[in-house]
Amino acid sequence: MTEGTRLLAGRYQVGALIGRGGMSDVHVGTDARLGRRVAIKLLKPALATDPKFRVLFREEAQKAARMAHPTIVRVFDAGEETVTEPNGLETQVPFIIMEFVDGRLLKDIIADGPLDPKEAVRIIAGVLTALEYSHRALLVHRDIKPGNIMVTQNGQVKVMDFGIARAVSDNSATVADTSAVLGTAQYFSPEQARGETVDARTDLYSAGVVLFELLTGRPPFRGDRAAAVAYQHISEAAVAPSTLNPKVSPALDAVVLHALAKDKFDRFQTAAEFRQDLETAGAGQVPTRKAAAANDFNATLFGANPSATAASDAALRQLSSNDDRPARTQTRPPVAWIWVGITAIAVILIAVVFWVVNLPPASISEGLSVKVPYVVGEDYTKIAAPKLTNLKLVPNLLTEASSTVPQGQVISTDPTAGTRVSKGQQVKVYVSAGKNPTTVPSLNNLTEAAAKDAITARKLAYGKTSPEHSATIPAGTVIRSEPAANAAAREGDTVNLVVSDGLINIPSIVGIDIAAATAQLVPLQVNITTQPNSGCTGGKVTGQSVTGDNQPQHSTVSITYCSG
């Protein structure tokens, strides 16, 4: 069954591919039961190898399906489809049926350059509205990035993939395992980079990263390796957006840097707080800092109470400043020892920083993942498949007809070469099956010009024309083709023509029996006369008017034979 006619769950017709990501392919589709247009997300088969993932995936998809808000892409349905691979093995492919959104991904909009600050504020305010709604439902997105945000034709912001990142991350051991699913490290929060438990404030940090990118055209932290970017999220402060885009106001600088605070207790505590300060700054006013309300819906933040923590800190500071506390009896250590300790700590920190920045290729996440090798143009059986297998990747052979790539050579791979993926992941390898198969058309009795047109129409190549004598086929008419009619061929193969030249070869028949002689002259016009028996052999031809090669068709030949 082709992709265009494939049905999922007996009702969802899979259409054209409209998007491709690290963990899924997205197709436009049709709900045959309700007659509506939908988007169909087919997750990578490698994600469904663990039964625990399938359980988590269904639970999180159900939670996401219960959310109905204008800023959130609706999830209509989810399930699994059994797919038979080319090698005959059956795999379970998880799928999600979502609302079809006619618009552009935010990452494509950013690719055009920095946005006007007012437009950036409007878009992130829409994202924060979606996060406020999801956080009230106790659902943390975990993967806020431009690739998961769409802007419709009328400017409506739509956030998608709620709950999907949770199902994947809860099924994985480390951040490195989920890098293909949770987005690039450019949008990690510090707690995600450290592998700690995340809560709603993780989404707010990621929203701050997206806001920074909208204002400047680039994320706040960049690097050649994911580990280097993750280290920057943990240890390095982001620059003010105005240093990269002078149009950004100091008030917006303050909002962005507040959202990007390393300590989650120092950044915005709720999406509503973030949005209020953002809209205030976007209106040209300076946001006022205020304490979090005790009855805030997100005051416990899924197990952590920032208000209680802040109160505890305040109480500790009050105790530390109490003038009535007893005097210290322990003497301070010598100043020299203090400086020795400080120096030792500094040396250790410098060594750790140097080690992280100069991680060898086989360390941390690189030890858990590999780069897809470049195999385009190579023989699949002899070179491409062994290369992938040696890297602990699983090649999935898919054939395509190609008029330019020789049969058996690799056309492309998915993911493409250089993409870092986890070991054991399946890599689709598109291999040339050669040119499209066809057959040689029947060209007999056509004029040479008509035969050439028929060859071209069948996407074959005309080769050459060879003349040949024929007593019956008119000059310029095809006698036969080489290869013959209906022979198997491939598009682009050469077909030669054998065409009548309108001439014949008249053999010499003198001395042979009259019956055999007339048979050799068919279908010529033959005039026969007899010669009286005067020493000739009876019944033998004694004379012939025309003989030799290159004689015109329909020539008249007069012969005499002995009647004795």
Residues known to be catalytic: 143
C-alpha 179/C-alpha 182 separation (Å) is: 5
Those residues whose C-beta lies under 8 Å from the C-beta of residue 372, and which sit 6 or more positions away, are 388, 393, 413, 415, 416, 417, 418, 419, 420, 421, 427
384: DSSP letter: I
Tally of CB atoms within 10 A around 312: 11
404: DSSP letter: S
C-alpha dihedral (556, 557, 560, 561), degrees to nearest 10: -120
Contact 494, 479 (CB under 8 A): no
* Residue whose token pair is 């004598």: 469
- Give one DSSP letter per residue of 159-170, joined into a string: E--TTHHHHHHT
Q: How far is CA 100 from CA 36, 41, 285, 355, 421, in A?
A: 9, 11, 38, 46, 28
Reading the block at residue 188, the tokens are 């990690």
C-alpha 470/C-alpha 487 separation (Å) is: 24
Reading the block at residue 93, the tokens are 């492919």
Reading the block at residue 438, the tokens are 């066809």
Those residues whose C-beta lies under 8 Å from the C-beta of residue 272, and which sit 6 or more positions away, are 128, 132
C-alpha 428/C-alpha 410 separation (Å) is: 11
Q: Residue 305 carries which side chain, given as an amino acid letter? A: N
Using only C-alpha atoms, the chain has a radius of gyration, in whole angstroms, of: 40
* Residue whose token pair is 């002995």: 562
C-alpha 440/C-alpha 431 separation (Å) is: 25
Cα 185 off chain centre by = 20
C-alpha 528/C-alpha 46 separation (Å) is: 89
- Strand (E) or helix (H) holding 489: strand 488-490
Tally of CB atoms within 10 A around 166: 22
C-alpha 165/C-alpha 153 separation (Å) is: 27
Nearest to 411 by CA among 419, 402, 420: 402
Q: How far is CA 444 from CA 472, 482, 503, 504, in A?
A: 13, 11, 18, 19
Nearest to 408 by CA among 430, 388, 390, 393: 430
* Residue 272 backbone dihedrals phi, psi, to 5 degrees: -65, -40
C-alpha 416/C-alpha 63 separation (Å) is: 33
